[in-house]
Structure 1
Amino acid sequence: MPTSMTGLRAALDRASSPSSSQRVRAGRDLAPFTGVPAAAVALPVLLLDIADTRVTRRTAEALARVGTVAAVRLIALALAEADDSHADWIQTGVHDVLSGPQSVPDIAGACARLVRDEDAAVREGAREILEWTDDAGP
């Protein structure tokens, strides 16, 4: 994860790399920086990566691990634009976090806030993610 502006810039550069492994790394490294406008622009592009759905899955996973309202909002927005394949891989990435052995952030709580968002696409995406959290229950 980048800890400096130089590291953040490098992660942003990787987001547009022709190498899918570099884009996967960018998604992971940028996920904690959803409050940085450049990262908030790059992350949805990675979620909807046109060349490799592994980038989609790993970016969704990274954002779900962050689990903040801002991170989950980006996932919800991407769902509004996602084709069926990308939506499935976004769901898989979120499910990887929800079903993993580690403690997970309160994604359901973030969704509960986002279902009242002013943006209809965010509300719809949050409802869908909320269903995923129910499906991943014990």
Structure 2
Amino acid sequence: MTSGLEAALVEASSPAWTQRVCAGRDLASFADVPEAAEVLVGLLLDVEDTAVTRQTAGALARVGTVAAVRLIALAVAEADDNQVDWLQTGVHDAFVGPDGVPDVAVACEKLARDPEEVVRRGAAEISAWTDDARR
């Protein structure tokens, strides 16, 4: 593991929500690394602060890879209604600005064929969010 990845993994378990937000942003680019993926799902479902959920979802949506969007889809499947609202807000945040994130829609199309039903369901929900954001 790289030192940046190791530091972010440690930061993810901090009692300070601001450090967990930073960890979510820093770990997003490591969504395909199993240790990071597990921690990222935990940050997406953070029960202590919605900012962690929102910022981590936004960071993963900006990465836009299948691995990154898959983690959001897994979180959507486990999230309560409040968490889903903040996951959606984070994904929408990623669409704001000149860069946009069309890769999320492409990732959702690929995830529609994922072997795990919960991932397919979550990806369908995220796909609907991206459709709304593009209107």
TM-score band by shorter chain is: over 0.9
Offset, 1:105: 4.2
Partner of 1:11: 8
Give the match's secondary structure for 2:21. Answer: helix
Structural RMSD (CA): 1.1
Matches within 5 A, 1:17-96: 17-96=14-93
Number of residue pairs the alignment of both structures matches:
135
* 1:122 counterpart = 2:105: no
Q: Which runs of 5+ in 2 are unaligned?
A: none
Q: Runs of at least 4 residues of structure 1 off by over 3 A?
A: none
Q: Which runs of 5+ in 1 are unaligned?
A: none
Q: For residues 83 and 16 of structure 2, what CA distance do their matches in structure 1 show?
A: 19
Greater shift, 82-91 or 34-43, is seen at 34-43
Q: Check whether the contact 1:108–1:133 (CA below 8 A) recurs between aligned residues.
A: yes
Q: For residues 103 and 124 of structure 1, what CA distance do their matches in structure 2 show?
A: 23
Greater shift, 33-42 or 84-93, is seen at 33-42
What is the TM-score when the length of structure 2 is the normalising length? 0.96
Q: For residues 58 and 118 of structure 1, what CA distance do their matches in structure 2 show?
A: 28
